[in-house]
Each structure stands twice: as structure tokens, then as C-alpha cells.
A and B are shown apart, each in its own frame.
Chain A
């Protein structure tokens, strides 16, 4: 092999692998990305059932209903709209009414959100950034909102 051919092999291999990587990424971007939505977004966009999305907002006060086998339903609100959510499984440590959460899953035909993952973070100030932004957008943001969740319980525990 000449010097030139060897260099060509090297460059060709590099471009080849890069092309494969790009193809893989484009393919993955089509299928495996979840868009974040607030309850109002869902109401506005008329999202079809089955599309995988992330839903973020506050757990509405008094909406949690516990069923058998760790089944659970509650409502997520951003102050404007609300979406009923169902979930089965263990909840994160900080899941409670008034807490900001992010749920991942999809809508069913009746407009209920079936979550398979619920995220709420291990921090007393925690408000998922997306949720905070969504609340600001809907005009229901309170500066101390993130803190709020813990203050009453701090009193209750002592």
C-alpha cells in the first residue's frame, strides 16, 4: 500500500465511523426523546395519546388518592390547567401535596396521564427547573414556593 492509500484508509475509516455515529444519533433523536409539557401545554397542544412526554407541575392539594398495590392517582396543576395522573410503584422521598414534580409517561385516550417514572428531588428547596419556569409562565409562581413545601411539615414534625 502506498502512503497515499494508507492515509485514505485512515481518513475513510474516520469518516465512516463518524457517519455511523451521526446516523445513530439522528435515529435516536427521532424515537427516544421526551418533550417537557406543563398541564396548560397539554391542554393547548391537544397531544395525542401514546406520545411519550414529561409532565411537570405541582401536586394539587387534596388530590392524592391511594389505591391497592401501591396504585396512586393525583392531579398535577400549574394553576391554569390540571391533568389527572396515575402511577403504580414507590414514590420519591419528597413526594407530597404542593410539591413540584416531573412525571414521565404518556396520555391515554381519556386524557389521563399514565406515569411510569416520577421525579422529585432530595432537596428541601427543590423545585424542578422546568416546573419553576412553567409556573412563572402561567403566572402562578411565588418566590417562596420552593420553600413552602417544607415549612409546615417542619412544624408538624417537632
Chain B
């Protein structure tokens, strides 16, 4: 009964989406307030029905209803509740349900919180949002129905892919989807603006919070996925330049660019046409990501099922939405009024610099990801475009971006003084120089360029701090006055500082791990020791430990300093899942400040020895801490926005608006 309810709810949601996608847009064209007013309630109702479908599927997973094919294939009654629930999005059909649920959720948010939007813009935007929803509802119902029954219900399910049975998976896909789908709002607003043929700075003010929210979730989602790969896949890498990872990185890069260009649009009424294009591109890249991941053109942990019909359907969705949006853009964008221009050296100029490099970097990732697919389709030749390609293209494009980043917030709008900004960054540059020297002195080995990488990271972080120091005048004013200034600073200034500091921290982590990490591979018998960096690990032996739906073969290691002081034990294991007859490697991690020891087990040999892989990962946690700091920056900025989003500002707030633009 429950799965049927879910399926009917999804069908009704499709129907509602079709209504929501047509009536309000017709209403907006003919200026018919009744038709336009359908949009909001339709969006809410559509969300309710999609939510019912989602909950119905969740219920099937929770009670382990194996008469549902999707549950049978991906769940197992022995799994803990949390994994039974997360199995929902650990497979193709279920993850698409999550996709449309989030899409409908965002639509409902616009319906509820969009009261201050112009009526026609709201109607058009919700209409466009509904087209996307309708396309994906139809996709699910025709090619990926998760509610299909099997006639003879089996007693036990096939279990979730073991490497997906992990707390990381509980939050990585939903966060990522919140990010992907969040960009759909910017897309819908962009299309709505093109349909209306009118756009102004207020548009950016309405769209920016959505972009920011999506960007925050995407940041955390990518970081979560990276950390998951790091500890679960057992070889200690945090980024593989895998096409699926690239699929999430590209919307992030475009979204970051959009975030910055929307600031210019909002504050200076410039870069409007470009911002619209970026909004289209960001969501298009999200769709391309979905296509790459879900169509089965790539083999990866994410390509759940290979069904050509699905690939073709998603390709059709891609063609219609991306092609349609870009055609509409080509047709309507020339009608939009161009905004003002500005001096190259200015805050706007810095943000354009940011946009140029981010979009170019994004383009190299796109080419690197799609080129092998295109080449195979055209010539049948199979190639792999791996880390060397991306390091050689993405890296050089990111360095100028990083070097310029601290200058941006220090430049004035309209016309900036780069010499003054450079003077204010002297301290930061000094710190960076010290970091380079220290890195050369302390770390032997590693690439020669690595200390400079660390220096750039320190420069970015110190530059972010410089901005706050300058604005609070903490070095020139008494502490209390400075604190008062700090509290009085717009939250978005803090947001910028946090965001920039976070990317610096991430960069530092990446440089340190890549350049100065060390690795030992050895075959150990009980009693043997292995050394890495300043640590010595002694292998004590192997024992077995049963789990709820798996068996663990655990290696027991004692970790000591070189001086002999015991620091603790590490217990990596090899985990066998009988339901799928699969084994996974569970690495053991020991955190020392922001560095980690990483230990994973290989196959045991008949003679009692085991192969182990031991890494010392210096500053590795900075990579993900940086992402969390970026997320916090976004949250700070968002909390600022909420105060100011709203069309007609009450009189008493007018004063606040006259404050120097940040």
C-alpha cells in the first residue's frame, strides 16, 4: 500500500508541476493576477506530494519492505536503521527521489519567502522551476521508478554496497544535492528575467541568498565526499580528479564565480548580462554532473545502474534545458540594458578577475572531463585524463586567483588604489615569506615549488585577516573601540574574510599533504615495527570482531613516539560483508593536531604476516576545516542578507543603507 501511495503522490506532483509550469507563465504574459497567483500554492502542493513520495519510500526502507524491488536491491534488514535510511539515496532511483524532493523544497521556499518579489518575476521563476520538476518527475516515473514491486517478496535484501555503509554517506549526497539543486533557483530566476526582458540590481539581491545557500551546501557536500573517499577507499587520497568529483567541482567553481559577480550586480548594477549567463551555466553544470554520474557513461561508485534509456532521457533533459536556456539568452540578452563600466583597478575589476580565472579553471575541468567521452564517441580511442592533466591546467590558473584574492576586499568600488592595498598587505606578504623560509628549513624533500604553495596559502589567510584588522583598526584604536567596530561591521564583510581564510586553509592542507606526506608499505609479522615521520607502529596481531552485517578482521597496532612513549593504538580492519560477498578496507586514523596517521590493511598472507600501508598526512585536516570555515563564512554572509532582503525598506533602516558599501 505504502509504495503505491508514493507512486500516486509522485504522479500528482507531476500533474501539479505541469499546471505550475504553464498557468503562472501565461498569467505573467497577460498580466492576469489570478493565473499568476496559482504559482505559490501549486509549488507548495507539489512539495507536499513529492514529500509524501519521499516519505513513502523512506518508510519502505525503514520497515525493510523487500516486496519493493528498489528496497530489495539496496537494503538488508540486518543493517542499522541509519544505513537502511541512507540506502534510500545510495542507489539511482532513490537518489532521484531525493533530487526532486529538494527541488520541490526549494520551490516551496520561494513560494513562502518570496512575498516581496515582483509578482510577475515570482510567477515566471516558479513556472520555470516547475518545468525542471516536471522533467525529473517524468524521468523517475518512466525510467527509474523506485516503487516497482516484485511478485514474490524475498525474505532478505541484497544489502547496500558496503563502501556506502558509512556515516559520511548519510550527509554527503543530501548536501551535494542541496547545492546542485539550489542553483536551480538562480537558473529559474535568470530564465524568468530573460522572459520578462528586464533585469536590475534588485534581481541580484533576490538571487544571491539562494546562490549563497546552495554554494554553502555544495562546499560541505564536496568536502564531505572528499573526506569519505579519504578514509573509506583505503588509499588516503582526498581528491582523485575523478570525473564524478569533477562533476561536483564544476558547479562549485561556476557558483563561486556567480556569487562574486552577483555582488557587482547588486552593488554597482554592472555585469548583469554576465551574471545571468553564469546563473544558467552553474545550473547547467549541475545538470551535466547529474548526467555524467547517473547515465552510466562513467564507471564509478556513483554509476549505480547502466540503462541506456536513462542516459538518453537525461541527455534530452540536458539538451532541452541547457540548449533552451542558452538560446533564450542569445535571443533576449541583447535586449537587457547594459550596466555601467568601471576602472580596471577597482573592487569590480578584482571581482571580474576572479570571474575570469574561475570560469577558465572551470572550463579546463569541463574539457578534461568531457574530452575522453567525446574522443571515444568519435574515434573509439580510449584515453584517461588523470591528475597530471588537471594539475598542469587547473593549478596554474588557480595561482593568480589566490595571489589576487587578498587585494580584492581592500580595493574601493569604482576606482581602487592598488599601491595602497599592496602597502596594507605588506604584513601578510611578510608572513608568507616567513612561511616559505620556514617550509624550506623544516621540510626536507618534496617539490621545490611546495614551500611557495604554502607561502601563497599563508598569504591568502593573512590577507583575509588583514581586511578585518584594517576595518576594525584594531592596531590603531583602543581595544574597546575596535571591538565595537568589529561588531558594527556588516556580516558580509566577516563572511568574505571567513570564506577567503577558508580557501587559504584548504590550500595549505593540500600543499602540505601532497608535498610532505610520507608513505610506507610493508609486510609485517606480529612483533614487527614500522616507522613514519616521528612515529613508530608495532604490529601486535590480528583478531576477529563480528559486526551487525559484517565481520571484521582487525589488526592491532601500538603507536609510539620515537622516544618510546605510547600514544595509543590503531585498529585498521578488513570488513567482509556476506550479503554481497564483498570486502572493504577500513583504515585507522590517528589525529595529531591537524595531521593524521593513516593505516590500512592489505590481504593477510598464509604465513601470518599482513601487508600494511601507513601514511603520515601532515596538516591534512586543514583541507576539510577550510571547507567548514568557508561554510561558516557563507552562513555569516547569509545572516546579513536576510536582514536586508526585502523590497521596500522601512524608513528607519534607510540609515543603515547609507553606510559605506563594504
Contact = CB atoms under 8 A, between A and B. Distances in A.
A143 interface: no
Interface band, chain A:
35 or more
B362 to A, nearest CB: 10
Contacts of A6: 341-344
Given A1-B343, A25-B393, A70-B521, A18 B360 contact: yes
A10 B161 CA distance: 50
Given A6-B344, A21-B393, A33 B385 contact: yes
A65 interface: no
Given A36-B383, A122-B584, A128-B299, A17 B360 contact: yes
A104 B384 CA distance: 10
Nearest to A158: B578
Contact of B521 (A35, A54, A90, A133): A90
A29 B580 CA distance: 40
B252 interface: no
Contact of B581 (A31, A121, A157): A157
B602 A90 contact: yes
B397 interface: yes
B392 A21 contact: no
Interface stretch (B209-217, B276-284, B350-358, B531-539): B350-358
Interface in B346-373: 352-353, 356-357, 360-361, 363-364, 367-368, 371
Given A31-B388, A33-B389, A124 B580 contact: yes
B603 interface: yes
A123 interface: yes
Nearest to A56: B382
A123 B581 CA distance: 10
Nearest to B371: A29
Nearest to A27: B392
Given A17-B357, A24-B364, A90-B611, A36 B382 contact: yes
A83 B301 CA distance: 28
A20 B357 CA distance: 10
A29 B389 contact: yes
Interface string A1-32: 10100110110011001101100110111011
Nearest to B306: A129
A3 B141 CA distance: 54
A10 B162 CA distance: 51
Interface in B377-395: 381-386, 388-389, 391-393
Interface string B574-587: 10101011111100
Contacts of A27: 392
Contacts of B92: none
A150 B163 CA distance: 17
A69 interface: yes
Nearest to B585: A93
A32 B363 contact: no
B611 A21 contact: no
B523 interface: yes
Interface string A119-136: 001111010111001000
B245 to A, nearest CB: 15
A21 to B, nearest CB: 4
B299 A91 contact: no
Nearest to A32: B388
22 contacts: A6-B342, A18-B363, A21-B360, A21-B393, A24-B392, A32-B386, A33-B383, A34-B384, A35-B382, A35-B383, A36-B381, A90-B602, A91-B603, A93-B574, A93-B582, A93-B584, A94-B582, A104-B384, A104-B386, A123-B582, A130-B382, A158-B578
Given A32-B391, A124-B581, 6 more contacts: A10-B344, A34-B386, A121-B301, A122-B584, A123-B582, A153-B581
